[in-house]
Amino acid sequence: MTQLKNSISRSQVEQLVRQALSQQLPGTSAPGMQVAPNPLVVNISARHVHLSQEHLEVLFGKGSELEIQKDLYQEGYFAATQTVAIVGPRRRMIPNVRVLGPCRGETQVELAYTDSISLGLELPVRISGDIKGTPGCVLMGPKGVVELEYGVIRAARHVHMSPADCAYYGCANGDSLHLRVDSPGCTTVLEDVVVRENPDVKLEVHIDTDEGNAVDLDHATSVKLYIPESCKCKHS
């Protein structure tokens, strides 16, 4: 039998299939036709407060404990029934800001850009926990007041990943990925999504309220996480 000169090799077929899948299915950009270990979830992280045990007791009374209102997507984390008021310069205030649990070693406030304008604060974009040298504010609870010298940030958009997720997407802790969100009339790519690797987490992207509204996340038809072509990732 005469072999056709224009026949296509198996490797070329696989490459074409991979390219087609990466264009149509969110999160299918990994090589070798690997199956994604976990579904990609994108959630909006609204303004919230993390309290130390010391500040919890100042705001809500001696011996107070956080009470669970709703479990969050990541296991062991929850939205508490407790809320506080945040007061910025010139006594500008945002009431009823949800406290998230469990308690942390240091109190931290995470706000969106529009929140910072409302409070009259100039906030840096930081990864959660990186709060040194940040602005402070006043927290008001039913039993007391806490004046923070620092601890208020705009949280950098980020993605929680397990080692298996990092292997699939070809990235490592601290890398920056792109997130494409397809919404009706509003397809958007969010850059600089910081990878936060931890063996005990589920795959989840966190963006703030402003970003969620901008990309119309509530009506998104697909989301895709990928390494930008210009990225100098640790695994590239």
pLDDT in tens, 210-224: 999 999 999 999 999
Half-sphere exposure of 152 (CA within 13 A, CB side): 23
Residues 74 and 103 in one domain: yes
Is residue 31 included in any domain, yes or no? no
Quick one: tokens of 82?
A: 């407790």
Is residue 26 included in any domain, yes or no? no
Residues 195 and 103 in one domain: no
Domain CATH code at residue 161: 2.40.40.20
Is residue 14 included in any domain, yes or no? no
Residues 130 and 202 in one domain: no
Mean pLDDT, rounded, for 74-84 = 97
Q: Within 10 A of 106 (CB to CB), how many other CB atoms are there?
A: 16
Residues 103 and 186 in one domain: no
Q: State which of 109, 126, 155 marks the end of a domain.
A: 155
Q: State which of 155, 185, 216 marks the end of a domain.
A: 155
Residues 113 and 210 in one domain: no
SS3 state of residue 91:
helix
Residues 54 and 151 in one domain: yes
Q: Is the pLDDT of residue 18 over 60?
A: no
Is residue 222 included in any domain, yes or no? yes
Residues 134 and 196 in one domain: no
The domain in which residue 199 lies consists of 37-43+157-226
Contact 179, 225 (CB under 8 A): yes
Is residue 200 included in any domain, yes or no? yes
Please tell me whether the overall predicted TM-score, pTM, comes out greater than 0.75 for this model.
Answer: yes
Confidence of residue 35 (pLDDT cuts 50, 70, 90): confident
Is residue 9 included in any domain, yes or no? no
Contact 121, 91 (CB under 8 A): no
Residues 69 and 165 in one domain: no
Q: 100 Cβ partners below 8 Å, 6+ apart?
A: 48, 49, 50, 72, 77, 78, 79, 80
Q: Is the pLDDT of residue 5 over 90?
A: no
Mean pLDDT, rounded, for 35-61 = 96
Helix (H) or strand (E) holding 223: strand 222-226
Q: Is the pLDDT of residue 39 over 60?
A: yes
Q: State which of 155, 176, 192 marks the end of a domain.
A: 155
Q: Is the pLDDT of residue 26 over 90?
A: no
Out of 27-41, 49-63, 122-136, 193-207, least confident range: 27-41
Is residue 119 included in any domain, yes or no? yes
Contact 51, 103 (CB under 8 A): yes
Q: Is the pLDDT of residue 89 over 50?
A: yes
Residues 151 and 167 in one domain: no
Q: Is the pLDDT of residue 6 over 90?
A: no
Residues 164 and 219 in one domain: yes
Q: Is the pLDDT of residue 133 over 70?
A: yes
Is residue 190 included in any domain, yes or no? yes
> How many folded domains does the chain comprise?
2
Residues 184 and 103 in one domain: no
Q: What does the H/E/C string look like for 67-87?
A: CEEEECCCCCCEEEEEEEEEE
What's the CA gap between 71 and 78, in Å, rounded?
Answer: 4
Average pLDDT over the chain reads 88
What's the CA gap between 86 and 145, in Å, rounded?
Answer: 10
Per the model's pLDDT, the better-predicted residue between 21 and 196 turns out to be: 196
For the segment 153-167, what is each residue's pLDDT rounded down to a tens digit?
A: 999 999 999 999 999
